[in-house]
Amino acid sequence: DDLDVEAHVHYFLGCLHGHLPAAFASLDSTRMTLVYFAVSGLDLIGALDRADRHAVVEWVYAQQVAPEGAQGLGGFRGGPAAGLELAEDGATPASPLDGPHLAMTYAALATLAILGDGLRRVEREAVLAGVRALQLPDGSFQGHADGEADVRFVFCAAAISALLGDSGRWHGLNRDAAVGRLVACVTYEGGFGMAPGQEAHGGTTYCALAALALLDALDALPCRAAAVRWCAGRQVGGFQGRANKEEDTCYSWWVGASLAILGEKRLILRAPTAAFTCACQYHKGGLSKYVGEPPDPLHSYFAICGLSLVGHEAVRDVEPTLGISARAWRAHTRTLLQLQADVALPPGARCAWLSPPSLRADTASALEVARWLRLALGSSISRLCVDSTALLTACAMAALAGAAGLIARGSRAAGAQPGS
């Protein structure tokens, strides 16, 4: 199960800073996803510093839709393909047809989070309004105005909310409607389909489970055991996306991460996953969906994510609910606290901060968590709504790391009772 890391670094850098061949014109409207695959891919194999961070950040922000021309609905587009002629002052004119797309907004925010951008230029409230405007009465989301609605975009809405620190406040979505819609998509097989009645599918199952986790609604799942059984049953060597279909490397992520979210990561068999994925490597870099096919950015990225889940030495940990490295998510939560400290809250408002869904129990992270807790408790937000389980875990870890003093000081500064 050898991973040719340098070849894949070369591949991702080529996608990012080279020229993709003409056949990629079919991805012209969704270039933002290519940015995300390359940047997150480089991050996972330890080569993020080899990307031109400034160029990426500038290009990403250039795709943000200006809310003034869009009825206050913001977000990011996939690229400049539908953009109009620039004004004399260089401003991009807004056009209702050059609007935001939920998957592109997710990809943009994930990319910015990975690169440690402070999100200062993100029109946070406009983006959330843009997300909300795309939710339908049945709880599902369209990807863009006058587009198809399905489970993929419920995930995008939930992930965007998490990346903007809006989990708990939920300005971007009607949580109950979204949860209801997701639960309606469970099939008799135990997985999730794209719409109620449709066949259980690996990609949709991931989107649904990740969304439920981000919406703090995993307990709404009617039968967790059935979902676990369906996911586990998809490993036939590599993973298949549906019963009786071929193995495909990207499902090692979609289905594998689903198992991780369900708390059953141990059911992913390492040897066959790694064997299948590594057999799909192209000698010049990149990975394909199955053996003998040419590589593409999507499969290259998700194949590597799948290897992360089985603990491959060459790949960093991924946060399963968000599709960014655990490192990036931890760093990003600090960014969110900074952002929230700056957001003017109406009196009596609750501001939720999202705890990192997976805290690693080792000393280095515990110290990081303790420092971060101090920042949270010492911030200007008068009332914090926290995930109590995560808070307890974090305190315990910090105590183990001998950093309990930081917490006590921080709590007193915020007027909270350390003992409570």
Partner 1 sequence: NRPRGRHRAPATMLDEEFADIPSIPQEDGDAPVVRIKYVPEFEAAMSKFRGLLQLDERSERALRLTEHVIDLNAANYTAWVYRRKCLDALDSRDLWQKELEWCGDVIENNQKNYQVWFHRRRCVERLGAAGEAELAFVAECLADEPKNYHAWGYRQWLLRIAGLWDEELAYTARCIREDPFNNSAWNQRFFVLQETGRLRDAGAVQGEMDFAMAHAAGDPFNQSPWSYFLGLVAVHPSGAEALDKAVKMVEPVADQHANCPQAHGTLAELLVKTGDVDALRR
What are 150's strand-pairing partners?
Answer: 141
DSSP 352: E
Among 5, 7, 66, 145, binds partner 1 (CB under 8 A): 145
Q: To the nearest whole angstrom, how small is the minimum distance from the Cβ of residue 228 to partner 1?
A: 12
Nearest approach in angstroms of CB 254 to partner 1 is 14
Q: Which amino acid is at 165?
A: G
176 scored as a contact of partner 1 (CB under 8 A): no
For the bound state, the minimum distance from the C-beta of residue 299 to partner 1, rounded and expressed in Å, comes to 15
Backbone torsion region of residue 244, taken as left when φ is above 0, otherwise alpha when ψ lies between -120 and 50, otherwise beta: left
Nearest alpha carbon to residue 189 among 179, 199, 202:
199
| 101 contacts partner 1 (rule: CB under 8 A) | yes
Task: Let me know if 341 is exposed, middle or buried by CB neighbors in 10 A (0-12, 13-18, 19+).
Answer: middle
From 92, 205, 235, 321, residue interacting with partner 1 (rule: CB under 8 A): 92
Give the residue with the Cβ less far from partner 1, 33 or 365: 33
Contact flag: residue 406 with partner 1 (CB under 8 A): no
Which CB atom, from 54 or from 388, has the smaller least distance to partner 1? 54
Site size with partner 1, rule: CB under 8 A: 61
Instruction: Name beta bridge partners: 351.
Output: 384
Provide the 10 A C-beta neighbour count for residue 195: 16
Strand spans (E) along 116-255: 141-142, 149-150
For residue 324, report the phi and psi dihedrals to the nearest 5 degrees. -130, 165
Q: Which residue has the tokens 């995300």?
A: 36
Which one, 78 or 256, has the nearer CB to partner 1? Answer: 78
Helices (H), 217-324: 224-233, 251-261, 270-279, 297-309
Tell the smallest beta-carbon distance from residue 233 to partner 1 (Å): 7
**Radius of gyration of the chain, Cα coordinates, nearest whole angstrom:** 21
Residue 95 in contact with partner 1, rule: CB under 8 A: yes
Give the three-state DSSP class for 241.
coil
Report the residue number, 38 or 207, with the smaller CB distance to partner 1: 38
In the complex with partner 1, the residue whose CB is nearer, 84 or 275, is 84
**How close are the terminal C-alpha atoms of the chain, in Å?**
49
Task: Report the alpha-carbon angle 190-193-197, nearest 5.
Answer: 90
| Rounded-to-integer distance, Cα 397 and Cα 381, Å | 24
Q: Which amino acid is at 44?
A: L
Instruction: CB nearer to partner 1: give 232 or 341.
Output: 232
Q: Smallest distance from the beta carbon of 189 to partner 1, in angstroms?
A: 5
* Measured distance CA(289)–CA(296) in Å, rounded: 8
Among 6, 68, 71, 84, the residue binding partner 1 under the rule CB under 8 A is 84
Q: Is 34 in the site for partner 1 (CB under 8 A)?
A: yes
Write a three-state SS string for 385-397. ECCHHHHHHHHHH
Per CB under 8 A, does 24 bind partner 1? Answer: yes
85 binds partner 1, rule: CB under 8 A:
yes
Which of the residues 303 through 342 are near partner 1 (CB under 8 A)? none
49 vs 313 by CB, closer to partner 1: 49
Stretches 184-192, 254-262, 317-325, 352-360: which one binds partner 1 (CB under 8 A)?
184-192
Site for partner 1 in 223-282 (CB under 8 A): 229, 233, 242-245
Does 49 sit near partner 1 (CB under 8 A)?
A: no
User: 3-class SS at 235?
Assistant: strand
Q: Are 270 and 309 in contact (CB under 8 A)?
A: no
Name residues contacting partner 1, limited to 105-144 (CB under 8 A): 143-144
Name the residue nearer to partner 1 (CB basis): 74 or 203.
203
Question: Which residues of this chain interact with partner 1, rule CB under 8 A?
Answer: 15-22, 24-31, 34-35, 38, 52, 54-56, 58-59, 62, 80-86, 92, 95, 97-98, 101, 143-148, 187-189, 193-195, 197-201, 229, 233, 242-245
